[in-house]
Structure 1
């Protein structure tokens, strides 16, 4: 029997559609796809200080999904349409997989403003029906921004839906809990990687981002009261072993483990170190000493 999947943690890597950029922004100028992308990126750098092309001009070329059980255990990690990486097939598998598994909760990091919109637009582009995702069910509608049952965006969780900014992004949040974060590749290098034919390397990069997101998800569940810290530590170790058993056949997993650091649990210290000089029942100051007895002062 297929194991129940309650959460689908995913990440999207995409490239600019040069033909679309040429047609929309440089119609009649005779720019080919590569020239159009380069020209647009130059403009974006001058205007915004970044070469990031808006998602409306992009297509997904790698989507990696982690399947997670109701008890938050990692079941599997898959790269859609690997090794062909056909955008229309990736998109079809993405949406049909969500329905086949019973519409689990999507989990992303910044997926509300990028990953899900690009997959919706890809469904529009390729003529793929995703009626279940567009179901109108009031505040319970899957596309309702605050419907965390359908989609939990961890960046929105940590910033109170954009009330603050998550400076440092997934890389910083991952490193807060001693996970690898960004390693050899960053998102702004994906376009060049694709142009160089390094599709597998892009998928590996995406796979590592999904692993980071999984571990951030686990710690978020602790913060929200859905998981104990002790259980999270067990799940992290179980996942680390899962990665290790596959590292001989996957460079991505081997690299991820090489960058792995053990999270130092501040609560995991000998009792003698924290209580030797503290009488039972006495409050402890920030310096770790017992509060002075007011009657004796």
Structure 2
């Protein structure tokens, strides 16, 4: 894997202000607006899952791996100044990595959820992403391999690819990761993100998105091994690199993930 890889995942909450603009929700508290949004979707579709443009991004989990470099982050955590970045800043941070590094993007259901949400929210927030939207006009290499085509490899949606691009064959990241012996979900899941955000437990959301990114990365390594892009030794080396990174970070949620994983060949 010579090209750098960026594993990513989003966590979102209802776009309260957007809903106020679209509907007559003035005078309602934020939690009341959210409940009204969910109720409206239940009436329309039988599900509370909101339309993609109404998902406000509050955390973007990313794992960057390039050569000997490995870095795991959740864009959205409070900065050293104690301020929480805006949604626009999260988007700028994410697309800035693409503009500077042109990594291969890897996701689980990114084509069905994460990328459309990124598109809509970048439009809402006025965020530019020229490298991401490149299709060969300025860089000929993007003509037949860009981030936008479902069947190109500059973005790999593992869920879509492993299902053979058949919707009836898809499975969850939690199931696939657990089948492979990886931690999977560790208490939090997507249905708990809005209650956690509403109750001021933002740190739990950022920890959760990093766990999902870690699971996705481990599945990606096995996928690359299956394709013949990693040898036995290279796979073990990448896993060991990740284990050492988690061990050395000192973060409690990284320790939790490592304890639930315990890769072969580690003694931590």
CA distance in 2, matches of 1:50, 1:205: 23
2: distance between equivalents of 1:88 and 1:28? Answer: 24
Write out aligned runs for 1:41-120 (5 A).
41-45=38-42, 50-70=47-67, 75-83=70-78, 84-101=84-101, 103-120=102-119
Give the 3-state SS of the residue equivalent to 1:65 in structure 2. strand
Deviation at 1:254, TM superposition (A): 1.8
| Partner SS state of residue 67, structure 1 | strand
Number of equivalent positions: 253
Give the drift of 1:50. Answer: 4.0
2:183: which partner in 1? 180
Q: CA RMSD in A?
A: 2.3
Aligned mates of 2:38, 2:103 — CA distance in 1 = 37
Tell me the secondary structure at the aligned position of residue 133 of structure 1.
helix
1:183-198 maps to which residues of 2 (within 5 A)?
183-198=186-201
Q: Given that residues 99 and 129 in structure 2 are in contact (C-alpha distance below 8 angstroms), is that contact kept between their aligned partners in structure 1?
A: no
- Output one character per residue of 1:46-85: Cα deviation in whole Å (capped at 9) or x when no partner: 6655432222101110112111125xx6611122242124
Equivalent residue number for residue 140 of structure 2: none
Instruction: Return the alpha-carbon distance in structure 2 between the equivalents of residues 81 and 19 of structure 1.
Output: 19
Asked if residue 11 in structure 1 is aligned to residue 9 in structure 2, the reply is: yes
Q: Distance in 2 between matches of 1:211 and 1:74?
A: 15
Higher alpha-carbon deviation: 221-230 or 43-52? 43-52
Structure 2 partner of 1:153? 157
Q: Which runs of 4+ in 1 moved over 6 A?
A: none
Q: Which residue of 1 aligns with 2:31?
A: 34
Q: Deviations over 1:10-51 (max 9, x none)?
A: 111111112222332x33775443222102223444665543
Q: Give 1:262 shift.
A: 5.0
Q: 1:35 to 1:158 in 2, by over 3 A?
A: same
SS in 2 for 1:180: coil
Structure 1 residue 115: Cα displacement: 1.1
Counterpart CA distance in 2 for 1:54 and 1:261 is 38
Distance in 2, matches of 1:259 and 1:46, equals: 40
Over alpha carbons, which structure has the higher Rg? Answer: 1
1:211 and 2:210 correspond:
no
Task: Identify if the C-alpha distance between structure 1 residues 39 and 214 changes in structure 2 by more than 3 Å, giving closer, same or farther.
Answer: same
Answer 1 or 2: higher relative contact order, Cα 8 Å, separation at least 6.
2
In structure 2, list runs of 5 or more residues that go unmatched. Answer: 79-83, 137-142
> Which residue of the partner structure matches residue 295 of structure 1?
none
What 5-or-longer segments of structure 1 have no aligned partner? 264-297
TM (normalized to structure 2)? 0.85
Find the residue that maps to 2:50 and give its secondary structure.
coil
Q: Does 1:254 align with 2:255?
A: yes
Per the alignment, in what secondary structure is the counterpart of residue 140 of structure 1? coil
CA distance in 1 between counterparts of 2:100 and 2:135 reads: 20
Q: Tell me if structure 1 keeps the 8 A contact 2:3–2:104.
A: no
| 1:13/1:61 contact within 8 Å kept | yes
